[in-house]
Chain A
Amino acid sequence: MRTNTPSLKSINKRRFCSFSILVIGVIILAILGLILGSVNIPLSEIWKIIIGSSNSNTSWHTIVMDIRVPRTLTALLAGAGIGLSGLQMQTLFRNPLADPFVLGISSGASLGVALIVLTVGSAGAIFGSGLGFFENLSLAISAIIGSAIVLFIVLIIAERVRNAVTILIVGLMVGYLVSAIVMLLVAWSEPQQLSRFVIWGFGSFRSVTWDELGILAPVLVVGFLIAGSILKPLNALLLGEDYAKSLGINIRTLRIATMAGSSLLAGIVTAFCGPIAFIGVATPHIARAIFKTSDHRILVPAVILSGAIIAMVAEIVAQLPGSNSVLPLNAVTSLLGAPVVVIVLLRSRLGAFTG
């Protein structure tokens, strides 16, 4: 027996430890997200406010309940969602660099958002502050449809082109194309809507209201459930489409489910948080590095947890603890994520899916 090959038992033990650490990480970062901010509020007081037994001043109450809790919840959910979307796309395209942002799926969602914000929005409601439920819903649907359409187009092209890098370039081009349409909309829009749209484009978890969370959270849960229902066929897809077919998997159904799931996740997050860069591509690689497996039964929960962690870290870094200024979220995620992409590119032979 080789000594450098761990037994199944020790692998399971190590995986259990890794999962425990990730869960603890999520909890600690969530608490940090509640504590950190321009106003100092003691943790005990925050807890009292959350469980509703506090009689402290109303400004603290507002800060905690209307800013910090939704902000933290959004970062947690959106990070998990965008990470999972990235994992599904990497398996679907058999491409280690696929993710909603890189493949232009987020641009599709942006177009959906721009159509609502820059045209319909001009009828009166102002984006980001006090859209009604139906406006929010139409924003979400529009973004999801936009991302689904772009994903569909890129997937059709990927059918013909097998090379991983070419598909990335195609994704970029489709992204530019969609951005061009967005630019036209921008050119015709009012300055006030425009500035809102530009700020939305920086990406942010802090602008999401409870009303918006009411749409974001259930849709994300549906996306998680879809991913959970196709763990086994996604694994089989790792062997390649022909082998998956020979194992009795219906490729067409699997593709539709994966596409629906990942564009739902990417679309809804983009609708409310803006196009979030690099979390989608980086998270699956980090999860694979931690658990040393390509098995989706391990990776899906791992990506959900580590995506939440990465998003919360990015959010905390973006608000520059101790200062009053806030960085654009995408500046932070790009700083963290772009090196990961470069490392993956350098380590894998181009064009090969090495996971």
Chain B
Amino acid sequence: MQTSDSLLRTNSLKIGYRYRRKSHTILSNINLIAKNGEFICLLGRNGSGKSTFLRTLAGMQKELEGTIYLNENSLKAFSNREKAKRIAVVLTERLQIGAMRGRDIVEFGRYPHTGWLGKLTPVDHKKVQHALEDVGATHLANREINQLSDGERQRLIIARALAQEPELMLLDEPSAFLDAPGRIELAILLRNLAHKRKITVIAATHDLDISLRTSDTIWLITEHQRIESGSPEDLIASNSISKAFSDEKTEFDNLKRTFKPKQTNHQKVYVEGEGEPFELAQSVLERTGWEVVFSPHESKIQVSIKSDGTWRATAADFEEIGKNFSELASIAQKLIVHET
């Protein structure tokens, strides 16, 4: 395998915790490669070991076995300061910091590069400004930290990581405090940073659909305590994503890249229509407990929907029409027979 453009490589890595001479393995046999400028999302269920893996990669926690290579040098060979010049982290813990301005937070990123007093040169100031611009946070530079929203703080913390000028950026659930548009913006920001600045970005996240749409590579923690690597599409096609996350109550929709509740009572409905109204009608019927099928013959009722949202529901012994989706929902609820 060609490794000339690889930044990070793990060799038979085993991670976990050591407690009173006993070791508790969380993930083992990890053999992964991260290339320069690659945007990687680390996916896995709650408690699957995402944070532990990131902390181990950052050198903040000792691996149980195996080796991590950064530029083909063992991570152990780096001093704290050398590591800090190459690896920046964004953690889940909330900053509890007193009187500081936005710019002060970003300036922390220059610490590994400055002298004992932490005095910044004009070059350092320029890099801080550059980092603020890259994350779109110049307007936060002079504001007091404790007056900022969680999303604004998160931007500054990422700007701080950028100002560190790392080769590798590790983020642990960076979107945890953000709203829906903020999450997408963040993912796009990280992808752009990876591609433009050639920083390898590895982000642990729960935003399945966003990461499947934005990342170059997915590292997926499987149910067998391994990490599977591949492009988002390959992992969808091989049903790996579905297997890693689905359980008896949910199933993964490969095309929509989201999870939906599993239908269990198998009462079938056929929907006829086009475009958005068709999709919405389908969603109404699915959430009321119906299984949408593609042939009218095996279905109990048939629903046809027009482009203006009016619908007609027909069955063997009845017919009903309506103007909007809430009417459709109440009919669908009335008609479904719940198993006892």
Contacts and interface: CB of A to CB of B under 8 A. Distances in A.
A243 B112 CA distance: 12
A138 interface: no
B100 A7 contact: no
Contact of A246 (B88, B96, B97, B118): B88
B84 interface: yes
Nearest to A250: B80
Contacts of B104: 295
Contacts of A242: 60, 89, 91, 93
B99 interface: yes
A352 interface: yes
B58 interface: yes
Max chain A CB contacts within 10 Å: which of B84, B95, B111, B114?
Answer: B111
A354 B146 contact: yes
B260 interface: no
Interface in B64-118: 79-85, 87-89, 91, 93, 95-100, 104-105, 108-109, 111-112, 114, 116-118
Given A248-B85, A249-B80, A232 B117 contact: yes
The prevalent SS among residues of A at the interface is loop
A288 B164 CA distance: 27
Interface stretch (A102-110, A128-136, A233-241): A233-241
B45 interface: no
B99 A236 contact: no
A5 B142 CA distance: 6
A250 B89 CA distance: 16
A245 B100 CA distance: 20
Contacts of B108: 235-236, 239, 243, 247
A247 B79 CA distance: 11
Contact of B87 (A2, A94, A246, A355): A246
A166 to B, nearest CB: 16
A5 B143 CA distance: 7
Nearest to B80: A248
A248 B164 CA distance: 11
Max chain B CB contacts within 10 Å: which of A7, A235, A246?
Answer: A246
Contacts of B91: 240, 242-243, 246
A293 interface: yes
Contact of B142 (A2, A238, A354): A2
Contacts of B111: 232, 236, 247-249
9 contacts: A231-B118, A232-B114, A242-B91, A245-B60, A246-B88, A247-B164, A250-B80, A294-B98, A295-B100
Q: A-B pairs with the 8 shortest C-beta distances?
A: A355-B98, A248-B84, A248-B81, A5-B142, A232-B118, A294-B98, A248-B112, A246-B89
